[in-house]
């Protein structure tokens, strides 16, 4: 690690700030505001930086005397080596003009030390008594390295960068190519209400078991991959690949499992439709990972790998959030919060919507009106905070067999960060292993109920 330690550069930064005066005041201010204590390796140097920040915040001019006075006042003078050491830093500084170069050297060394620390920690975990699964270890290291990389990017850009993105989106809309910059889920009423989804959205889909959360996700997968030809990465932590695949295939073919197993004549027709649709899947950009109990680190690592391999992703689906490996199973709120934050950051990093399915609390079963709300999400606090959009999936016939909404799946938008007017209920038919538009005005009619019974 000594390769990333340069005491002389640290002393030169300290001395140059002291010597900056009025002529190089802006340069010194940039250095003080940009440096952090971990950029230094010597404890005394960290204390001096702390003093610089105090003086700067108080608008006190910095020189040898004001620095010494502050250190004396806080009882830190002895810990930094006294006035003699401060004078040594002064006289040993080659050039105040080179302060930005000295600061850059400190930042580079600091970055090197942080990377070495992550790698060293990883090596210790590999050889320790509590050996983590290699996949988890790799994911953890990649996440930490990614965080270090992200911290080097200030994130500040000139306004024209944002305007150009906006103009590109508007131009695409005028040319009928909005889906180049937005994401269509394939649920017509919802797509229309939202005008498509932002490519950095974290979308949470909540529901009790059997309500249609997975059906929501497979319908989205079919649309994004087969209609818009954008790659989909589907993490199925609950169902094996064949169950996810059959749902997408049946919906694409417009057949049900019952039809495939039904009477001979109808059965032949259903099989014919399924066979004809299979050509759509030969080169379909749908990639399914059905490993169980993946951690958020593993999900992020695999998403980055596939993003790089495929040249970008159209959408990432997680089925479902609470099935992911928890960092601290004894504190579910903290663990789920870390997962939600990690998935939101992943959407921003890859500029790809992340859709996470989530289980709801059983408490709603005790209510007269069992339609879910955002607060029904298990460990809902951070999920609600991080999510850009929250949908709730509900089928009334699960609780009320005689309901007029038989065969209807309600998608209730409980939160919409960017399109407040979209917070309402949308209705879909779920007859063919997916969600399809339905004319709600017909749903309560005798004609419609007769169609369902037939």
Average pLDDT of span 394-398: 87
Average pLDDT of span 363-385: 78
Same-domain pairing of 397 and 291: yes
pLDDT at 102: 92
Evaluate whether residue 249 is within a structural domain. Answer: yes
| Beta partners for residue 356, in sequence order | 204, 318
Same-domain pairing of 329 and 439: yes
- Report whether pLDDT(332) > 90: no
Average pLDDT of span 64-92: 92
Same-domain pairing of 199 and 82: no
The DSSP H or E segment spanning 349 is helix 332-350
Average pLDDT of span 425-450: 71
Q: Rounded to 5 degrees, what are φ and ψ at 154?
A: -65, -20
Name which of 61-65, 310-314, 373-377 the model is least confident about: 373-377
Task: Tell me the C-alpha to C-alpha distance, in Å, between residue 447 and each of 15, 373, 432, 451.
Answer: 87, 32, 20, 6
CA angle 206–211–212, rounded 5-degree value: 80
Distance, in Å, from the CA atom of 207 to the CA atom of 370, rounded to the nearest integer, reads 11
Tokens representing residue 127 in the block:
């050889």
pLDDT at 453: 45
pLDDT at 157: 63
The DSSP H or E segment spanning 84 is helix 82-91
Arithmetic mean of pLDDT over the chain: 81
Whether the link from the prior residue into 320 is cis, omega within 30° of 0, is yes
pLDDT at 452: 47
Residue 226 per-residue DSSP state: I
pLDDT at 153: 55
Evaluate whether residue 176 is within a structural domain. Answer: no
The residue with tokens 């960290």 is 46
Distance, in Å, from the CA atom of 265 to the CA atom of 409, rounded to the nearest integer, reads 30
- Report whether pLDDT(23) > 90: no
Average pLDDT of span 355-380: 80
pLDDT at 357: 92
Same-domain pairing of 85 and 204: no
Evaluate whether residue 170 is within a structural domain. Answer: no
Distance, in Å, from the CA atom of 69 to the CA atom of 221, rounded to the nearest integer, reads 65
Percent of the chain surpassing pLDDT 70: 84
Same-domain pairing of 101 and 201: no
Same-domain pairing of 103 and 225: no
Domain end marker among 107, 137, 156: 107
- Report whether pLDDT(378) > 60: yes
pLDDT at 386: 85
Q: Any idea what the CATH number is for the domain that residue 57 is in?
A: 1.10.860.10
Evaluate whether residue 158 is within a structural domain. Answer: no
Domain end marker among 60, 79, 107: 107
Q: What share of the chain is helix, strand, coil (3-state, %, to 5)?
A: 60, 10, 30
Q: How many domains does the chain have?
A: 2
Q: Any idea what the CATH number is for the domain that residue 373 is in?
A: 3.40.50.300
Evaluate whether residue 121 is within a structural domain. Answer: no
Distance, in Å, from the CA atom of 315 to the CA atom of 284, rounded to the nearest integer, reads 14
Distance, in Å, from the CA atom of 270 to the CA atom of 190, rounded to the nearest integer, reads 29
In this predicted model, which residue has the larger pLDDT, 110 or 129? 110
Evaluate whether residue 226 is within a structural domain. Answer: yes
pLDDT at 67: 93
pLDDT at 447: 53
- Report whether pLDDT(319) > 50: yes
Percent of the chain surpassing pLDDT 90: 20
Distance, in Å, from the CA atom of 219 to the CA atom of 271, rounded to the nearest integer, reads 21
Q: Rounded to 5 degrees, what are φ and ψ at 34?
A: -90, -20
Domain encompassing residue 232: 181-453
Evaluate whether residue 82 is within a structural domain. Answer: yes
Domain end marker among 49, 73, 107: 107
pLDDT at 166: 65
Same-domain pairing of 94 and 185: no
In this predicted model, which residue has the larger pLDDT, 254 or 409? 409
Banded pLDDT at 1 (limits 50, 70, 90): very low
pLDDT at 454: 40
Evaluate whether residue 142 is within a structural domain. Answer: no
- Report whether pLDDT(368) > 90: no
- Report whether pLDDT(69) > 90: yes
């Amino acid at each position: 690690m000594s390769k990333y330690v340069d005491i002389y550069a640290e002393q030169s930064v300290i001395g140059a700030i002291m010597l900056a005066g009025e002529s190089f005041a802006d340069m010194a201010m940039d250095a003080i505001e940009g440096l952090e204590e971990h950029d230094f390796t010597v404890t005394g140097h960290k204390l001096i930086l702390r003093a610089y920040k105090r003086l700067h915040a108080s608008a006190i001019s910095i020189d040898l005397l004001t620095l010494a006075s502050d250190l004396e006042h806080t009882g830190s003078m002895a810990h930094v080596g006294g006035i003699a050491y401060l004078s040594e830093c002064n006289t040993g500084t080659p050039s105040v003009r080179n302060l930005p170069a000295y600061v850059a050297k400190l930042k580079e060394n600091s970055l090197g030390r942080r990377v070495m620390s992550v790698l060293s920690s990883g090596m210790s975990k590999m050889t320790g008594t509590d050996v983590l699964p290699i996949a988890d270890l790799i994911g953890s290291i990649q996440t930490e390295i990614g965080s270090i990389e992200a911290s080097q990017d200030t994130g500040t850009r000139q306004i024209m960068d944002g305007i150009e993105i906006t103009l590109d989106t508007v131009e695409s809309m005028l040319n009928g190519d909005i889906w180049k910059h937005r994401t269509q889920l394939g649920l017509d009423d919802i797509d229309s209400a939202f005008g498509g989804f932002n490519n950095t959205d974290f979308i949470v889909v909540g529901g009790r078991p059997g309500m249609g959360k997975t059906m929501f996700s497979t319908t989205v997968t079919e649309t994004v991959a087969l209609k818009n030809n954008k790659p989909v990465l589907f993490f199925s932590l609950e169902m094996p690949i064949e169950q996810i695949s059959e749902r997408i295939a049946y919906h694409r073919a417009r057949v049900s499992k019952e039809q495939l197993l039904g009477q001979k004549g109808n059965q032949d027709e259903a099989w014919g439709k399924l066979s004809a649709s299979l050509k759509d899947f030969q080169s379909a950009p749908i990639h399914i990972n059905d490993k169980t109990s993946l951690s958020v680190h593993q999900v992020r690592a695999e998403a980055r790998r596939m993003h790089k391999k495929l040249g970008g992703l159209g959408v990432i689906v997680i089925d479902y959030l609470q099935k992911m490996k928890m960092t601290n199973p004894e504190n579910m709120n903290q663990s789920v919060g870390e997962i939600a934050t990690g998935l939101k950051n992943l959407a921003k990093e890859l500029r790809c919507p992340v859709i996470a399915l989530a289980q709801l609390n059983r408490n709603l079963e005790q209510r007269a009106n069992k339609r879910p709300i955002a607060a029904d999400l298990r460990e809902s606090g951070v999920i609600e905070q991080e999510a850009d959009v929250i949908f709730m999936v509900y089928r009334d016939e699960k609780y009320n067999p005689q309901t007029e909404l038989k065969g209807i799946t309600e998608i209730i938008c409980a939160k919409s960060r960017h399109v407040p007017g979209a917070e309402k209920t949308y209705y879909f038919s779920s007859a063919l292993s997916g969600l399809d538009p339905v004319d709600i005005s017909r749903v309560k009619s005798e004609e419609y109920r007769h169609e369902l019974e037939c």
